[in-house]
Structure 1
Amino acid sequence: MSHAIKLHEITKSYDGFTAVERFSLEVARGTVFGLLGPNGAGKTTLIKILTTLMRPTLGDAFVEGHSVLTAGKEVRRLIGVVPQENNLDRYLTARENLTLHARLHGMRPASYNPRIDELLEMTGLASRGNDFPDTFSGGMQRRLVVARALVHEPRVLFLDEPTTGLDPQSRRALWDYIRGLRHKMTVFLTTHYMDEADALCDRIMIMDHGECLADGTAAQLKDAYSRAHTYQVEFKRDAERYEGVLAGLSFVKGVEREGAVFQITLADEESIKPLMDHLGGADIRRICLKEPSLEDVFIALTGERVRE
């Protein structure tokens, strides 16, 4: 079996509202998979189903071949979960939080004590093992939550928006740690940070309203949904005059301006020559094809409207 996660036509309905409908997915072992979508897209519903916190209305899901419907206990044994919130026990020290998790998974002291030492060292918390989580920064607490999820050496790790609220240094440190898990286990990641998905994920799926909109590597998604005829042009002077010139050109389909920098969308690739003929070259500081970002793809697929 090459797939660590498999969802087969999952449907979840709540009092007449369908959050996910006939959703299918397969995630290969040893990969970092990213699930992206706006609020209400169905991401949390799928994670709750996969981690046995919620039963689907129809369909079934499998983690390492075990059904979430009929083998929930085995699924829970195989997974680690990092939820959105830092749900550490504030009345236990960092080491005690990890020890409690290990004992809940039936581990013996001879197995879990060396494992806890290793994880505290790997997450940079070795000197704080006897301190309480309330004395930690947000980034340190987040690293401890990740360490807790890894104590029992899960085969599949679920990360639900793991870096929300972290400072850039803490985010980067957690990124490095997640990269180190690649190939050792399967990682299922949800995030609202497009740069995070771009940097970490071997494969990305964008979903909305419970359905898959796009699926592939970050590069494949950006190539498929890029605006291939959009250029950035910066003028040395006379930006106002050139704004009027651009507005009168039939092959210019869109213009966005920020100071002296224009983002110009053309009708086709042949339009670049007549554009340059109209603009000339003397007042142009630079011109370049606009490279798409994963955020551009996300907005193109899910729209610009703010979700509740």
Structure 2
Amino acid sequence: MEASVTLKRVGKLVHGKTILAGMSFGIEKGTIVAVVGENNAGKSMLLKVIAGFENPEHGGIFIHGLDSVRRRQEVRHLIGYVPADNDFDPWLSLKQNILFIGSLYGVSPADLETRISTMSRILRLEDALDTKVQDLPSSLVKRGMIVRALIHDPAILVMDEPTAFQDAEMVRVIWDYLEQFRGEKTIIFTSQNFSVIEQVHDRILVLREGRVLLDGTLDRLLESTTHYHQFQIEFETLSDAMYQKLAKMDIVFSPSKQGNLFTFYGRNKKVLFQVMEAARELVLVDVNLKKMGLKDLLDSEFSRQGLVE
């Protein structure tokens, strides 16, 4: 398939610190790509660079084959951007903010009214349109930012935490709407909602320290952990001393303690019985073998200990 976004050895520095380190990858048209990673992994900066709100110090970014720096005006019309933070004019109403941006993109007054009306109905913003942004809750502001990003019908939608501040119902509403663009628009987004990412993605980019650590579908990424199991053992009581004893076993990976629940990873099921033997003096309440998901894959200690091969 044809590339919608292409990065070639892109590097970004902020105050002398490397935020993006030689990134090279392409994103196919019409796909939904989630960008995930720890705090300060470079997620937000990557989105800003793709959207054209930051310039790279090194390398190049190409949007539909156009150099994003040299052909900035053309590229800007191809992209809709939802930043992490509210950047609306607080003294204008939500609708006035959206109308202003739409007019800058040359959208006709009739199309502006139609698009605002349609998207506001779908995203449940109709009662908020005429209210000053400074008087609106963050949940409504964020939805308004999605409308603004789509107002000029861009080919690429770049969104930093698009469902931040939303309740579970609105998260479903937003993604039910956005998924309608699959195959038509390229969507690149960040999110802390791992269950949403697992459901909607075509591809996941895992960042660490400004580099792409992992790249692929969740099933493909989890293939690297097929020889591992996640175990949860609940004891009647689990002291800190016993937890430290179990956690230090060389067969135990990425251990954690929550109350009397001991969670860890092991290379095979025999590990479970070895841990139980080491804790034989404790009263066992329950044992679970849990299916691994995106959150497990992103666990920093998990990756540092070598479970991603």
Q: Same fold (TM over 0.5)?
A: yes
Q: Given that residues 29 and 185 in structure 1 are in contact (C-alpha distance below 8 angstroms), is that contact kept between their aligned partners in structure 2?
A: yes
Structure 1: which 5+ residue stretches go unaligned?
none
Whole-angstrom distance in 2 between the partners of 1:75 and 1:254:
44
- Which residue of the partner structure matches residue 195 of structure 2? 195
Is it true that 1:62 corresponds to 2:62 in the alignment?
yes
Corresponding residue SS for 1:158: strand
Matches within 5 A, 1:246-261: 258=258, 261=261
Range moving further from structure 2, 173-182 or 145-154:
173-182
Q: Larger C-alpha radius of gyration, 1 or 2?
A: 1
1:52 Cα offset (Å):
2.0
Matches within 5 A, 1:1-308: 2-14=2-14, 16-225=16-225, 228-234=228-234, 258=258, 261-263=261-263, 265-266=265-266, 268-270=268-270, 286-300=286-300
| Change over 3 Å in CA distance of 1:192–1:235 after alignment to 2 | closer
| Change over 3 Å in CA distance of 1:278–1:76 after alignment to 2 | closer
1:189 Cα offset (Å):
0.5
Whole-angstrom distance in 1 between the partners of 2:250 and 2:8:
49
| Change over 3 Å in CA distance of 1:78–1:266 after alignment to 2 | closer
Q: Given that residues 128 and 140 in structure 2 are in contact (C-alpha distance below 8 angstroms), is that contact kept between their aligned partners in structure 1?
A: no
Corresponding residue SS for 1:88: coil
Identity %: 27
| Change over 3 Å in CA distance of 1:5–1:268 after alignment to 2 | same
Whole-angstrom distance in 2 between the partners of 1:263 and 1:5:
40
Q: Given that residues 20 and 210 in structure 1 are in contact (C-alpha distance below 8 angstroms), is that contact kept between their aligned partners in structure 2?
A: yes
Q: What does the per-residue CA deviation read over 1:225-283, in whole Å, with 9 as the maximum and x for residues that have no partner?
A: 3672332344689999x989979x99777875555544365453455677789999xx8
Whole-angstrom distance in 2 between the partners of 1:74 and 1:244:
58
Give the CA RMSD over aligned residues.
3.5
| Change over 3 Å in CA distance of 1:47–1:253 after alignment to 2 | closer
Range moving further from structure 2, 28-37 or 42-51:
42-51
Corresponding residue SS for 2:299: helix
Whole-angstrom distance in 2 between the partners of 1:102 and 1:197:
29
Range moving further from structure 2, 174-183 or 157-166:
174-183
1:47 Cα offset (Å):
2.2
Corresponding residue SS for 1:213: strand
Q: What amino acid sits opposite 1:159 in the alignment? A: M
Whole-angstrom distance in 1 between the partners of 2:227 and 2:26:
29
1:187 Cα offset (Å):
0.7
Whole-angstrom distance in 2 between the partners of 1:119 and 1:83:
19
Q: Given that residues 4 and 29 in structure 2 are in contact (C-alpha distance below 8 angstroms), is that contact kept between their aligned partners in structure 1?
A: yes
Whole-angstrom distance in 2 between the partners of 1:239 and 1:115:
59
Whole-angstrom distance in 2 between the partners of 1:92 and 1:44:
26
Corresponding residue SS for 1:40: coil
Corresponding residue SS for 2:5: strand
Q: What amino acid sits opposite 2:123 in the alignment? A: T
Q: Given that residues 226 and 297 in structure 1 are in contact (C-alpha distance below 8 angstroms), is that contact kept between their aligned partners in structure 2?
A: no
Whole-angstrom distance in 2 between the partners of 1:76 and 1:6:
15
Q: What amino acid sits opposite 1:232 in the alignment? A: Q
Q: Given that residues 229 and 269 in structure 1 are in contact (C-alpha distance below 8 angstroms), is that contact kept between their aligned partners in structure 2?
A: yes
Q: What does the per-residue CA deviation read over 1:149-202, in whole Å, with 9 as the maximum and x for residues that have no partner?
A: 111101001101223344444444333333333233111102344334223322
Whole-angstrom distance in 2 between the partners of 1:224 and 1:108:
51
Whole-angstrom distance in 1 between the partners of 2:223 and 2:70:
41
TM-score by length of 2: 0.81
